[in-house]
Copies of this chain bind each other. A is one copy, B any other.
Amino acid sequence: MIYFDNAATGGSKPYCVRETVNSVIAFLCANPTRSGHKLANAGAEAVFRCRNLLKEVFGCGSAERVIFTKNCTEALNTAIFGILKKGDHAVMTCAEHNSVLRPTERLKKSIGLETDVIYPEKNAYISQKYLITYDAIKPFIKKNTRLVITNHCSNVTGAFTDVKGIGEGLKRDFPEVLYMVDGAQSGGHVSIDMARDKIDVLCLAGHKGLGGIMGSGALLFSEAADIAPLTFGGTGSDAFKLDQPDYYPERLESGTLNLPAIVSLYEGVLATNPTMGKNAEKLVFLTETLISALKKTSGVKVYSQPNPCGIVAFSAENLPSGEYAELLSEKYDIAVRGGFHCAPLMHRYLETEKNGLVRISLSAENTERETAAFLAAAKELSFM
C-alpha cells in the first residue's frame, strides 16, 4: 500500500524507534518514578532524558514543564481546561481542529467562556504565505482575553499560521495574553522554538512528524502559564496529601506513565530532528509536484500550497471526497483521507462542507515513484 495518510499518524517509524520500544517492552518493564529500585530508576532516567530533549529541541524553559500526554488532544484539553476561567475570553482561528473547538465549546456552555473565531479573507489559503497573521488576531484582543490559540499548520490544507509574528506581537502589545500553539501537524516538520517564537503553551502529537508511536503526545509550557490539573491521582510523591501536588510535572501527570511511548518519542525526535531541514525540502518539492499536476487534472480543484508538512488537499467535481478516498484505497491501494478531518470550520471557510476534501499527507519516506503512481490514478479517476 502507498501510505499518504501521515497527517493522521506517521506511516513508518524510524528503525531506532521500533527497536527501542521492543527492548523496553522486553527488558524495562518497571514503573518510572514510582518504586526506587534499579529498574524503576532506569525507567525514570529514560523519562527524564525525553523531558530534557523536548525542552532543548522546543525551547521550553524547564524540563519540569514538559508533560507527557497520550495524544495531542489530551495536551490541548489539559491546557484549555487548566488555563481558562470564568470571565475569560479566548481567540482562535477557523483552522482549529475539534480538539480545540470542542473543549472551548464545552467551556462556553459550562462557564460562559467568550470566544472569537478568526476567518481569513476568502482566498487567503491560496494567495497568502500565511493563512493567519498577527494583523488578523490583534483586533480581537479584549481586556479579558486570556488565551490565543492557533494551530501551526492546518491539518486540512497544510496552510501555515505566522506563529512567530503572532507570538512576538502578542508579547509586545498584550503581554498578559498567553499564546498557545497546536503543533500536531508541524512538530518534526519545521522548527518550533517556544523562546524564539514567544509561545507560552505548545501541544504536540508524538506519533506524526516526530516519529514516535501512537500513545505519545506532549504539553510544554512557559513560566508564564499556570495549568490546573484535569486528572488527579498517584504521582509517586507526597502520598499523604489528598490534594494533587502543586509542582510540575507531577501536578499534570497522574498514574503510570507510558514508558514505551515516551522512549519512542525520545528516539523519534533524536532521529527526525537532524534531518528536518532536508526532509522539509523534499516535502515541499513533492507537494509542489503533486499540486502542479493536480491543477492540470480535469475537474480537480486544489486547496493547498507547497508546504513542508507534506499536505495536499483537493476536490474532484465528479466524486465526493469520501468515495474518492475509498476508490484510491480499493482500486489503487493508496491510503489518503477524505471527509472533514475533524476541522469543521476550516471546511466552512473553504466552502467544502458538502463533499469534504481528499487529503494527501506525505512523509519524507514517500517517493516520487509513489506520487507518480497517485497522479496516474488521479488521472483515471477524473474520467470516471
The answer on a CB contact under 8 Å between B12 and A336 is no
CB of A384 closer than 8 Å to a CB of B = no
Chain B, Cβ-Cβ closest to A1: B39
Interface string of A20-44 (1 = CB under 8 A from B): 0110011001110011111110000
CA distance A234 to B353 in the complex (A): 17
Question: What's the minimum C-beta distance from A307 to chain B, rounded to whole angstroms?
Answer: 20
CB of A308 closer than 8 Å to a CB of B = no
> Contacts A21-B21, A244-B106, A335-B40: A233 and B31 contacting too (C-beta < 8 A)?
no
The answer on a CB contact under 8 Å between B232 and A106 is yes
The answer on a CB contact under 8 Å between B77 and A341 is no
CB of A257 closer than 8 Å to a CB of B = yes
Inter-chain contacts of A334 with B (CB < 8 A)? 37
CA distance A18 to B255 in the complex (A): 22
Interface string of A267-302 (1 = CB under 8 A from B): 000000000000000000000000000000000000
The answer on a CB contact under 8 Å between A72 and B255 is yes
Inter-chain contacts of A343 with B (CB < 8 A)? 239
Inter-chain contacts of A336 with B (CB < 8 A)? 35, 37
The answer on a CB contact under 8 Å between A73 and B233 is yes
Inter-chain contacts of A123 with B (CB < 8 A)? none
Number of identical protomers: 2
Interface string of A240-277 (1 = CB under 8 A from B): 11111000000000111111110000000000000000
The answer on a CB contact under 8 Å between B256 and A98 is no
| Interface hub of A22, A40, A236, A260 (most chain B Cβ within 10 A) | A260
CB of A198 closer than 8 Å to a CB of B = no
The answer on a CB contact under 8 Å between B31 and A73 is no
Inter-chain contacts of A328 with B (CB < 8 A)? 37
CB of A196 closer than 8 Å to a CB of B = no
From B36, B103, B232, give the contact of A103 (CB < 8 A).
Answer: B232
The answer on a CB contact under 8 Å between A254 and B35 is no
CB of A337 closer than 8 Å to a CB of B = yes
Question: What's the minimum C-beta distance from A332 to chain B, rounded to whole angstroms?
Answer: 10
CA distance A101 to B254 in the complex (A): 12
From B99, B241, B337, give the contact of A255 (CB < 8 A).
Answer: B99
Question: What's the minimum C-beta distance from A32 to chain B, rounded to whole angstroms?
Answer: 9
CB of A189 closer than 8 Å to a CB of B = no
From B97, B214, B322, give the contact of A257 (CB < 8 A).
Answer: B214
CA distance A337 to B236 in the complex (A): 11
The answer on a CB contact under 8 Å between A213 and B25 is yes
The answer on a CB contact under 8 Å between A325 and B37 is yes
> Contacts A38-B1, A98-B233: A242 and B31 contacting too (C-beta < 8 A)?
no
CA distance A48 to B325 in the complex (A): 22
The answer on a CB contact under 8 Å between A102 and B31 is no
Inter-chain contacts of A1 with B (CB < 8 A)? 37-39
> Contacts A73-B234, A74-B231, A232-B77: A329 and B36 contacting too (C-beta < 8 A)?
yes
From B3, B243, B353, give the contact of A240 (CB < 8 A).
Answer: B353
CB of A342 closer than 8 Å to a CB of B = yes
Q: A21-B260, A235-B342 are in contact. List 5 more A-B contacts (CB 8 A).
A: A8-B31, A36-B338, A215-B258, A230-B231, A233-B342
Return the 10 tightest CB-CB contacts between A and B, nearest first. Answer: A73-B255, A234-B342, A99-B233, A215-B258, A102-B232, A8-B31, A37-B329, A37-B335, A239-B340, A71-B255
**26 interchain pairs, CB-CB under 8 A:** A5-B40, A8-B256, A9-B30, A9-B31, A21-B25, A35-B325, A36-B322, A36-B329, A70-B70, A71-B256, A73-B254, A73-B256, A77-B254, A98-B233, A98-B234, A99-B232, A102-B244, A105-B232, A214-B260, A214-B261, A215-B215, A239-B339, A239-B340, A239-B342, A240-B340, A240-B344
